[in-house]
Amino acid sequence: MDTVFFLVLLLNSRRPGELQRIPLHLYDRTPNNQQNYKEFDDTITPCENILINIFKRIVIRGKSEHSVYVLFNNDVQDHIKILLDYRKKCLSKNNNFLFEKSKTIEPISGYKILKKYAILSSAINPQAIMATKLQKHLETIREC
């Protein structure tokens, strides 16, 4: 669960608190993006069509009630599918979060997962890898 959450965090460059509270029903009820854009087939470029087939997009509430888009690539979707298949066996049925803490009704702690992977990365200064700095760094890389 932690690794999948971390992959979503890196892919989306969002606040961990926003991602850790993604409701399960929102992920489940969002259809595959390919089905959502059938009416735009004439206007979508081949490149955009490839991206639509690769990513699933959901919209969550972010800071100050703003809409926040979260993308899930095919690999992450496959991992989430496996997690959801085994969810009933080891996780609480009352927990409504996509990324949940085992046997509780709470979501996982995104900041703790970020800290865990910062330490595992063997970085010289893992304490410097915080959510805000990571977001800025990922945005800088994307601009290049």
Q: Say whether pLDDT at 95 is over 80.
A: yes
User: To the nearest 5 percent, what fractions of the chain are helix, strand and coil?
Assistant: 60, 10, 30
What percentage of the chain exceeds 90 in pLDDT? 28
Enumerate the domain spans of the chain.
2-109
Q: What is the pTM of this model?
A: 0.79
Confidence tier at 13 by pLDDT (50, 70, 90): confident
Of 39, 37, 43, 42, nearest in space to 55 by CA: 37
Q: Write the pLDDT tens digit of every residue in 106-128.
A: 899 988 998 898 889 888 888 77
List the single range of 38-42, 46-50, 79-83 with lowest mean pLDDT: 38-42
Q: Say whether pLDDT at 36 is over 70.
A: no
